[in-house]
Each structure stands twice: as C-alpha cells, then as structure tokens.
C-alpha cells in the first residue's frame, strides 16, 4: 500500500487592519484639524474687527530727510503698549515679515515686503527699549528692539529684530535721544 500524504488546507489569516475604521479615523482627524484652523482664522478676523477704531497707518513723506540709522531684519508684530501679549492685527500690524527700518529726522520708516508699510512720525515716538518678547515671539534677554509710539489715542509697542543684534543698542540710544528732544520742544 502506498502512503497517503495529506496536506493541511491553508488557513486564512484574520484581517490585521480594519481599513474602513482606519480611513474613518483619518478623515475625522483631518476634519478636526481643518475646524481648528478655521476657528483660528475667524478669531484673527474678529480681533481685527474689534480693533477697527485704530486709524489708518501713516505713510512716509516724499522727502523724509537723510537717514540717521538703517536696519534690516524681522518685524515680529505690534501690541498694546505695556501688554506684550495683546497683539494688534488691524491694518496688517499683526503680520510678521522681513523689514527695512530707516530712521530720519522726520521719523521711523518701516518698509515690509509682502505687508503694509507704515511710518511713525518723530512726534509720535515715545521710547525704545531692549526686551525679550512680544506676542508670538520670545528671545533671549535684550534680543528684541521694541519701539513705543502713539497712534490715534493708543500707545503701541512694535517689535523688531535686526539681522545684526549688536545694532539694537545704538537704535535704542538714538531713538530715546530723539524722543527726549521732541518732548523738550513741546
């Protein structure tokens, strides 16, 4: 008699991945992230609406005069003076960007590629200081040049960081000297 060899029938393994459930969770996660981003955008627009009382930003005069100082770097945003977390978003002041600053006898010209440029007249300048943070950006102590200026009935702090941080001290000294001279002339 010849031996009979029986082969076991191959068992079908259980599904390891439940694809419909996995796809459902993935779609749910994407929808949740989209909802969060939409809510953040709506909050940003609402903040701009609440700050609608801020007047339009001044533009630089045709002849601002000879430059005392120039600086290239980053603009990190503006806040209500003394409240480093109260970001101002009206008129594009909340938009971070590259910046070219020019200080003349007429005031501070802020040129921002991709965002609205503005000008701070000398009479509106209040003080300059070195600080470590402004809404959305925290650096080492003294890593941020903060310029306080008056716009309408509001005092605003604007934060700048030079590509060469060693320039900050000269900016603070010159801006504070200009504000002292302006206060003496009033």
Q: Are residues 41 and 80 in the same domain?
A: no
Q: Are residues 106 and 156 in the same domain?
A: yes
Q: Are residues 171 and 130 in the same domain?
A: yes
pLDDT at site 165? 83
Q: Are residues 132 and 77 in the same domain?
A: yes
Q: Is position 4 within any domain?
A: no
Of 174, 180, 154, 186, the closest CA to residue 108 belongs to 174
Q: Is position 13 within any domain?
A: no
Quote the number of domains for the chain.
2
pLDDT at site 175? 92
pLDDT at site 100? 94
pLDDT at site 13? 64
**What is the domain range of residue 97?**
67-185
Per-residue pLDDT of the chain (186 residues; tens, 9 = 90+): 667 666 656 666 666 778 888 999 999 999 999 999 999 999 988 988 888 888 888 888 888 788 899 999 999 999 998 888 888 888 888 889 999 999 998 999 999 998 889 999 999 999 999 988 888 788 878 889 999 999 888 899 999 999 988 889 999 999 999 888 776 665
pTM: 0.76
Q: Are residues 72 and 126 in the same domain?
A: yes
**What is the distance between the alpha carbons of residues 39 and 31, in angstroms, rounded to a whole number?**
12
Q: Are residues 175 and 84 in the same domain?
A: yes
Q: Is position 129 within any domain?
A: yes
Q: Are residues 27 and 71 in the same domain?
A: no
Q: Is position 3 within any domain?
A: no
């Amino acid at each position: 008699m010849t031996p009979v060899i029986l082969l076991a029938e191959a068992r079908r393994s259980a599904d390891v991945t439940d694809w419909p459930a996995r796809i459902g969770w993935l779609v749910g996660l994407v929808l949740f992230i989209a909802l969060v981003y939409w809510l953040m955008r709506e909050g940003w627009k609402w903040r701009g609406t609440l700050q609608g009382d801020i007047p339009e930003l001044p533009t630089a005069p045709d002849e601002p005069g000879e430059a005392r100082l120039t600086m290239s770097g980053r603009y990190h945003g503006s806040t209500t003076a003394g409240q480093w977390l109260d970001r101002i978003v009206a008129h594009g002041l909340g938009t971070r960007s590259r910046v070219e600053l020019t200080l003349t006898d007429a005031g501070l010209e802020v040129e921002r590629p991709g965002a609205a440029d503005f000008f701070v007249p000398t009479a509106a300048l209040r003080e300059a200081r070195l600080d470590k943070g402004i809404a959305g950006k925290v650096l080492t102590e003294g890593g941020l040049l903060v310029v306080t200026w008056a716009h309408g009935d509001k005092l605003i702090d604007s934060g700048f960081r030079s590509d060469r941080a060693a320039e900050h001290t000269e900016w603070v000294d010159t801006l504070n000297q200009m504000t002292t001279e302006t206060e003496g002339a009033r």
